Structure 1
C-alpha cells in the first residue's frame, strides 16, 4: 500500500490526518461503529484501496471483483445520520465528487451488520444527483471555505 501518511486531512471529513484517522482501519484495526467503518470505506474509495473495500463488505453482498480506476474523483463525505441497534447499524451519508467542471453527489442510507465483533457494509440504495452550491455556501471540496472563495 502506498504511504498516505502525509495527507493533511483525512478524506472522510473528520478534520484529522489520515494517520490519526482511517489509516488504522486500512491496516487491520476493527471499526467500533458503523459510522467509523463508513468513513474508512469512503477514504478507501478515495485512495482506491479495492482490497480493503471488499474486505469490509459483507460476504453475502460483496462483489466478486472491483475496478476503481473509473470511479469518480471523490472529495468529501457528509454524514447526515447514523446509529446502531444490537448487531445492525445504518449510516445516512452524502459523498461529494467532482464531475467535469461541476459537482455530483451520491446519497445513501447504508445498512451494516456486526459479525464476530466486526462491522461490515451490507447494502444500500444509492441516489445520485448534481450538486449546485451557492456562492456563499461551504465549498463541496471540504476546505471549509465559502464556495465563491475556493473552487468557483
Structure 2
C-alpha cells in the first residue's frame, strides 16, 4: 500500500502522513513511546518491514538475526492483513520504560483479526524500541 504524503495518516491520529508518521519512517527518532506505537502500526500498513525490524528490541520473541526470513515474515503478514484503524486507549510514560494500550482493528484474509494489547517499550541508546505486549 502507498499513500500520498498529504493523506490522512494510517495511524488514526487525524494528522497528515507527512506531519505524523512519515518523519519517523524517514529516520527521525520518536520522542514518546506512543509515537513509536503509531509509526509501527503505520509501517505495518505500508509494508515497511525495515522500520519494524529496526524498532524491535532484541529480547522480542520475533527478533532474529536471519533478517531475510524476518523481513519475508513481516511482508507476508502485511500482504494478508488490512490495517483498518488504531485506537490508543492509555499511555503510561516513563523515562526509560513506557506502556501503550491500544486496539488495532485488522482484517486477515477477510476475517476480523482485531485485538487489544498493552505494549511495553524501552529507551535504548536514546531511542524507543518495542519490547513485547500483553493481549487483553
Written as runs of structure 1 = structure 2, the 5 A alignment for 1:123-138 is 123-126=132-135
Which of these two proteins has the greater Rg computed from alpha carbons?
1
Residues 24-69 of structure 1 deviation map (CA, whole Å, 9 limit, x = unaligned): 0001101010000000000000001000001011122252214222
Question: For 2:24 and 2:134, how far apart are their aligned partners in 1?
Answer: 24
Normalising by structure 1, report the TM-score.
0.74
Q: Once superposed, what is the RMSD of the aligned Cα atoms? A: 2.1
Residues 80-99 of structure 1 deviation map (CA, whole Å, 9 limit, x = unaligned): 00121220000000100135
CA change 1:79–1:126 in 2 (3 A) is: same
**Residue 70 in 1 paired to residue 74 in 2?**
no
Question: For 2:131 and 2:108, how far apart are their aligned partners in 1?
Answer: 27
Question: For 2:53 and 2:113, how far apart are their aligned partners in 1?
Answer: 24
Q: Hey, what does 2:67 align to over in structure 1?
A: none
**Paired residue total:** 126
Poorly superposed stretches of 4+, deviation over 4 Å? 99-102
More helix by share: 2
Higher relative contact order (CA 8 A, sep 6+): 2
Question: For 1:76 and 1:7, how far apart are their aligned partners in 2?
Answer: 18
Normalising by structure 2, report the TM-score.
0.82
SS at match of 2:90: strand
Q: Hey, what does 1:29 align to over in structure 2?
A: 28
